[in-house]
Amino acid sequence: MALSFFRKDTKESATGAQAAEMEAFLKGYSIEVMPRTAEKVEDFRALLPKGTRVYIAHIDGTPIEDMVATAKRIGAEGFDVMPHFPARIIKDKATLVDWVGRYKDVGVNQGLLLAGGVATPVGNYATSMQLLESGAFAGFERLNVAGHPEGNKDIDPDGSDKMVMEAARWKSAFAERSDAKIAMATQFCFEAAPVIAWVDRLAAEGIKLPVHIGVAGPAKLQTLIKFAISCGVGASLRVLQKRAMDVTKLLLPYEPTEFVADLAAHKAKNPGFGIEQVHFFPLGGIKTNAQWVTDNGGASGVPANA
């Protein structure tokens, strides 16, 4: 972390600088929930800053009625709602149009478009690009797409990132001809250096989509390793594996402090760096995640009803 580069007699000022960097970096963060986890939260206003974007993950098998009810409830509490649209679980355009209409009826005008985790599409859609081209999202103000800092073996089985980068270029070009705001919300990672290199590479290749970097919230180490493996997290998984080999840390909960602080410091030194926001996956619980932001994000973590 940045503090290790400062002499002991300047540590106090470095800490202050780091806190300011973290606060700026975490401003406007977003967080992801599912209908069943949202049910456990009595009032999101007690946890999240006003206007926080709340993604609602659509897991295969979740009824659209539950998704829409969750969106309506969270929107009524004063938050921007962004439901997932996983292409591979959408049967046809009629279904897609129906879902979009239901969300519009409860005030939703944002969506995360992604392929989804299902191996075989149930119908006509297999990619987020097909959803973008469908024309079904007319009137939506924001259409985020998925990003893969460490590649995606489902898309590039050979271990390269050729197809992933080709898709990113297509999405960037689409954004330039679309009225909707579009950003890449990424899978969670655990190491800053590969993320920085990936974001810089996007810029070098002319991909102009801002990045909303995925961050795993505080959780038990075993929980994180399980999710990381199932979600295809790449090289940065070694951070967790190394921690798991340290008996003194094995039973301690993981917190993303070092990862976020390193990215925040880089952003502070390079204002044009392509990460625009932080997106949290609250794998250890929404309340735990929100409390971590409150403790580490200064004014950026203050709940709406505080």
The verdict on residue 245 lying in a domain is yes
β-pairing verdict for 53-56 and 142-147:
unpaired
Q: Tell me, yes or no, whether 63 and 20 share the same domain.
A: no
Domain boundary among 83, 112, 140: 140
> Is the per-residue pLDDT at 295 higher than 50?
yes
> Is the per-residue pLDDT at 243 higher than 60?
no
> Is the per-residue pLDDT at 3 higher than 50?
no
Q: Tell me, yes or no, whether 127 and 217 share the same domain.
A: no
Report the pLDDT value the prediction gives residue 252, as an integer from 0 to 100.
66
* Tally of domains within the chain: 2
Lowest mean pLDDT among 8-17, 134-143, 240-249: 8-17
Q: Tell me, yes or no, whether 103 and 219 share the same domain.
A: no
Q: Tell me, yes or no, whether 148 and 5 share the same domain.
A: yes
Report the pLDDT value the prediction gives residue 13, as an integer from 0 to 100.
40
Give the CATH number for residue 78.
3.40.50
Distances (CA, A) of 228 to 32, 195, 215, 300: 16, 16, 11, 27
Q: Please report which confidence band the pLDDT of residue 160 belongs to, taking 50, 70 and 90 as the band edges.
A: low
Q: Tell me, yes or no, whether 278 and 183 share the same domain.
A: yes
> Is the per-residue pLDDT at 35 higher than 70?
yes
C-alpha 25/C-alpha 87 separation (Å) is: 31
Q: Tell me, yes or no, whether 74 and 11 share the same domain.
A: no
Measured in whole angstroms, how far is the alpha carbon of residue 93 from the centre of its chain? 26
The verdict on residue 82 lying in a domain is yes
C-alpha 133/C-alpha 9 separation (Å) is: 58
The residue type at 208? K
Lowest mean pLDDT among 75-79, 115-119, 166-170, 211-215: 115-119
Report the pLDDT value the prediction gives residue 229, as an integer from 0 to 100.
55
Report the pLDDT value the prediction gives residue 15, as an integer from 0 to 100.
65
Q: Tell me, yes or no, whether 148 and 245 share the same domain.
A: yes
Q: Tell me, yes or no, whether 92 and 122 share the same domain.
A: yes
Q: Tell me, yes or no, whether 284 and 192 share the same domain.
A: yes
Q: Tell me, yes or no, whether 45 and 62 share the same domain.
A: yes
> Is the per-residue pLDDT at 9 higher than 50?
no
Its domain, for residue 188, covers: 1-29+144-157+179-296
